[in-house]
Every structure is written in C-alpha cells, then in structure tokens.
C-alpha cells in the first residue's frame, strides 16, 4: 500500500482552495462590470454604449488564449504558469482601476483576460493530475462553487461599490484575492511538466481566429439592424473551424487532437455543455433585465432577487455526489436538464402585476439544479480521457464553456428582440420577456436528450469512494 506523505496531504487539502480563488476572481470579474458601466462611462467621459468594448475585449481574450494554456503548463510547469497568470490578472486589475480613458481600460482588460485565460484551465489541470479519479469529483465539487457564486455576487457587489465607494473598487477587490492565491500557489501548487512538448502554432492561430470571429459575431448579434456583416463573420468563423479540422486531420501534434472526440463521454460532455447552456446562461442576464426594464426596479434589487441562487448552489454541491452515486450520470443529466428547462418556463408565468417575490423560490430551486448540472457535465467530460489527453482536453472544455456561455447570452437577447418587435406582445415589453423564457426553457428541455448518448455505466470510475 502506497502511503501519502504529509506534504501530499497538505497539497490535496489546499489545491482546491487555490483553484477556487482563481475561479472566484474570474467569475466575479466577468459580471461585476455590468452594473458599473454607466458610472465608469461618466468618469471617463464616454457614452455607456461605447463601454461595451470593456466587456467584449475581456471575453475575446479569454476565448483566444485559453487553447494555449495546456501547452504552456506542459512546457513551463503548472506552478510557474499559474502564479504568472494570477500576477498578470492582479496587475491588469490594478491597471483597470488606474485607467484614465476607455483605451486604457480596454488594454487593461486584455491584460486581465490573458491572465484569466491561463489561470483557471491551468489550476484545473493541476487538480486533475493531483487527484485520483475516485477523489476528483469531490475536489472539483469544492473548487467550482465560486463559479456559481461569482456571477450572482458580481452585479450585487458592483452596484453597492459604485453607490457607496467608487467604480475603482470593483477592480481593486481582485488584488488581495490574487495575492492570497499567489502565496498559496508558491507553497502548495504542484509543478507538473511534460517532457514531450510540441506546440502546434499553426493550429493555435487557426483555432484562435475561429474563436475570435465567433465571439465577435456573438457580440454583434445583439444589433439586428444590419444582419449581413454579422452572418458573414459568423460563417467565416465556422469556415476557420473547418480549416482547423482539416489541419488536425493531417496528423502531427495538433493543439486539440481529433482523437479527443473519439472518446464518447468527452464528446457528449462537450455537446451537452454547448446545448444546455443556451438556456441556462441566458437566465442570469434576462431576469435582472426584466426586473429593471419591465418592473422599473433598481439594479441592486434585481441582484437581491437572484442572490438565493448562490446559497442553493452550495446545497446542490453537497448533494451531487450522492445523486450521481445513486442514479448515475446518464439519468442524472437527462432528468436534471428537464427540471432546469421546466423551471425556466415557470419564469414566464407571472404577469406585470405579480409580486417580484414570486421569482425567488424558482430562482432558488434553479440554483440547486444548476450546480448539479455544471459539476456533472464537467466531470463526465474528463471521465475517460487518458493522461496524455488531459492537457488538451481540459483546455478545449474551458474554451467550449466560454463560447457556450457567449452563445447562451446572445441567443437569449436575439429571442427577446424578436418577440419585442413582433405583434404577439401587445405593446408590453414584459410579455416579450415571458415568451423568451418560455422559448429558452423549452429548448433547454429538448437539449436534455443529448445525454441519451451516455451509457448507464458511464462515469463509474469517477464515483467518490466512501469515507
């Protein structure tokens, strides 16, 4: 029997916490800016509409540089790359707080994005390589809680900081968290490397171009006045994806090997993430918008309405292992997706005269099942990957999630604008939101059938051992 040293025990205890700090910073930063843009715009003497570049630049940087995270970790070591990423993200946050104009802010957000694109994937890679598959679910379960809490706290914290302090603090809050992560990283982050490293620069550039074009098209889809250039960029993005497919098929050492998709659980996990997040990702955007636009309430009020989602997400995390052990991944993911879709449809029931508190129990229950969904999809995606596939597979999962969230937000806004401009809503914007929730809810229910491709026995090796 192999004994575990005290150092290894300490690493296993602290490593999920290190990853949790990185995920929390990234997820908080992805959402905290939303409620703060008007205040930043006034201070920088810009139009609030132009300030969208501060969000777009961050999202695009994440999508473009994430594919390189696996190679950099294998080449320079997970410890060095992770600490460098935290340092870069913290410096970017400091530069954002010091920005004197929009150009400075966009450049600072790009620096943040480069750090964020390496931070979470490399941290997850270290976690995957440190824990046995029987222990991985429990470790990932703890580390991913901030991914559920961050998007809920972001608009709320941003609103309060702008109202009671200044917008600069929404960036400065990252610095003490980053310093804590760097200190823990120096002491506890394992330094995994690979001796056989060959970076596919051409493949990276092709895939980065595809990610960039698709991300730009997602942002442009919000403006439906001129659809032709949007469709052109969107189609061009898919052509680059096809070009990457032809490039990877030629052999060599592509950045994302095609044999990843021969692993059925990975393939189902990737497609399932993309399909189910169309509905799931749109809710945290659509509900606050409806509360502010249709109900004429403040951003802080809308933040408090969705806050219960964070608390119930924690309860979901504490239950997911028992649920998966009892029902398996196939049944859990199918039923869970159906439940989430039904809950989204329920958001369409209240009319304009209904109390806002009607949404609280729905959102609370939704947070519980969302947490089960994210943990289950993330773990089944890596369940059957071999050791030599974990770096590229982990990077592709991270990129896929980022694009899936972008697709979900864009899809929700497109459906909302279609209903807003139709004759079905009888002149009430609130009805446009109701029909949108109904549409994305039904599509989420349908997306649950993706998980029928899983076998009943899939994920058995991921089950946590009884304590």
pLDDT given at position 467: 30
Q: Is residue 383 part of a domain?
A: yes
Q: In angstroms, how far is CA 259 from the centroid of its own chain? A: 25
My answer on whether 435 and 409 are in the same domain is: yes
Tell me the pLDDT of the chain averaged across its residues.
77
Q: Bigger pLDDT: 134 or 180?
A: 180
pLDDT tens column, 39-52: 777 788 876 545 66
Name the one residue in this structure whose structure tokens are 């972001």.
154
Domain boundary among 169, 196, 223: 196
Look at 133-147, 157-171, 208-222, 328-342 and tell me which has the smallest mean pLDDT. Answer: 133-147
Judge whether 442 and 435 are in contact, CB under 8 Å: no
pLDDT given at position 95: 92
What range does the domain containing 62 cover?
Answer: 6-196
Pair of tokens at residue 436: 């949108």
My answer on whether 357 and 318 are in the same domain is: yes
Q: Is residue 430 part of a domain?
A: yes
Judge whether 131 and 12 are in contact, CB under 8 Å: yes
My answer on whether 314 and 396 are in the same domain is: yes
My answer on whether 245 and 119 are in the same domain is: no
My answer on whether 121 and 270 are in the same domain is: no
pLDDT given at position 344: 92
pLDDT given at position 98: 87
CA angle 325, 280, 245 (to 5 degrees): 85
Pair of tokens at residue 214: 């698709």
pLDDT given at position 35: 64
C-alpha–C-alpha distance, residues 24 and 372, integer Å: 18
Residues 363-372, mean pLDDT to the nearest whole number: 87
Pair of tokens at residue 441: 């809810």
Residue 209 has pLDDT above 60, yes or no: yes
pLDDT tens column, 29-80: 776 776 666 677 778 887 654 566 677 677 778 877 877 777 788 778 878 8
What CATH number does residue 50 fall under?
1.20.1250.20
Q: Bigger pLDDT: 2 or 363?
A: 363
Residue 91 has pLDDT above 90, yes or no: yes
Q: What is the DSSP string of 54-107?
A: HHHHHHHHHHHHGGGHHHHHHHH-HHHHHHHHHHHHHHHHHHHHT--SHHHHHH
Pair of tokens at residue 17: 């916490």
My answer on whether 339 and 239 are in the same domain is: no
36-39, Cβ contacts within 8 angstroms, sequence gap of 24 or more: 36/158, 36/159, 36/161, 36/162, 36/167, 36/170, 39/162, 39/166, 39/167
My answer on whether 32 and 93 are in the same domain is: yes
- Sort residue 346 into left (φ over 0), alpha (ψ -120 to 50) or beta: alpha
My answer on whether 188 and 215 are in the same domain is: no
My answer on whether 461 and 337 are in the same domain is: yes
pTM over 0.85: no
Q: Is residue 405 part of a domain?
A: yes
Q: Is residue 1 part of a domain?
A: no
Residue 338 has pLDDT above 90, yes or no: yes
Whose CA is closest to 273, among 397, 107, 149, 164?
Answer: 397
Tally of structural domains, the chain: 3
CB atoms < 10 A from the CB of 252, how many? Answer: 11
My answer on whether 266 and 399 are in the same domain is: yes
My answer on whether 12 and 47 are in the same domain is: yes
Name the one residue in this structure whose structure tokens are 């947070």.
367
Residue 309's contacts (CB-CB under 8 Å, 6 or more residues apart) are 148, 152, 284, 363, 364, 366, 367, 370
pLDDT given at position 459: 63
- The radius of gyration computed from the CA coordinates of the chain, to the nearest angstrom, equals 21
């Amino acid at each position: 029997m192999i004994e575990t040293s005290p150092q290894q025990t300490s690493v296993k205890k602290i490593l999920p916490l290190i990853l949790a700090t990185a995920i929390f910073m990234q997820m908080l930063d992805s959402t905290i800016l939303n409620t703060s843009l008007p205040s930043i715009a006034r201070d920088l003497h810009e139009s609030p509409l132009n300030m969208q570049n501060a969000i777009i630049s961050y999202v695009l940087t994440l999508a473009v540089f994430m594919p390189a995270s696996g190679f950099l970790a294998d080449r320079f070591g997970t410890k060095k790359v992770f600490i460098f990423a935290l340092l870069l993200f913290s410096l970017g946050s400091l530069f954002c707080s010091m920005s004197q104009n929009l150009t400075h802010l966009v450049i600072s957000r790009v620096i943040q994005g480069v750090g964020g694109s390496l931070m979470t994937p490399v941290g997850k890679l270290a976690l995957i390589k440190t824990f046995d598959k029987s222990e991985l679910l429990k470790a990932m379960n703890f580390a991913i809680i901030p991914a559920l809490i961050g998007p809920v706290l972001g608009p709320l914290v941003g609103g309060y900081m702008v109202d009671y302090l200044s917008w600069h603090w929404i960036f400065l809050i990252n610095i003490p968290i980053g310093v804590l992560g760097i200190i823990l990283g120096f002491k506890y982050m394992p330094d995994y490397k690979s001796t056989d490293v060959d970076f596919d620069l051409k493949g990276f550039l092709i895939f980065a171009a595809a990610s960039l074009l698709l991300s730009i098209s997602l942002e442009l889809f919000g403006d439906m006045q001129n659809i032709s250039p949007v469709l052109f960029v969107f189609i061009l993005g898919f052509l680059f994806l096809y070009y990457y497919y032809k490039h990877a098929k030629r052999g060599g050492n592509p950045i994302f090997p095609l044999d990843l998709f021969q692993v059925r659980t990975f393939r189902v996990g990737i497609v399932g993430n993309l399909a189910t997040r169309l509905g799931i990702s749109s809710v945290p955007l659509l509900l606050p918008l409806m509360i502010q636009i249709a109900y004429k309430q403040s951003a802080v009020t809308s933040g408090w309405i969705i806050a219960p989602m964070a608390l119930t997400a924690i309860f979901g995390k504490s239950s997911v292992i028992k649920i998966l052990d009892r029902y398996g991944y196939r049944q859990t993911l199918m039923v869970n997706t159906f439940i989430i879709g039904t809950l989204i449809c329920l958001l369409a029931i209240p009319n304009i005269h209904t109390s806002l508190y009607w949404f609280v129990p729905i959102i609370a229950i939704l947070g519980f099942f969302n947490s089960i969904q994210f943990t289950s999809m993330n773990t089944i995606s890596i369940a059957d990957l071999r050791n030599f596939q974990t770096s590229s597979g982990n990077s592709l999962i991270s990129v896929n999630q980022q694009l899936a969230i972008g697709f979900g937000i864009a899809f929700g806004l497109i459906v909302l604008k279609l209903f807003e401009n139709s004759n079905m809503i009888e002149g009430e914007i609130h009805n446009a939101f109701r029909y949108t929730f109904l549409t994305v809810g039904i599509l989420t229910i349908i997306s649950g059938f993706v998980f029928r491709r899983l076998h009943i026995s899939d994920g058995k090796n991921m089950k946590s051992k009884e304590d």
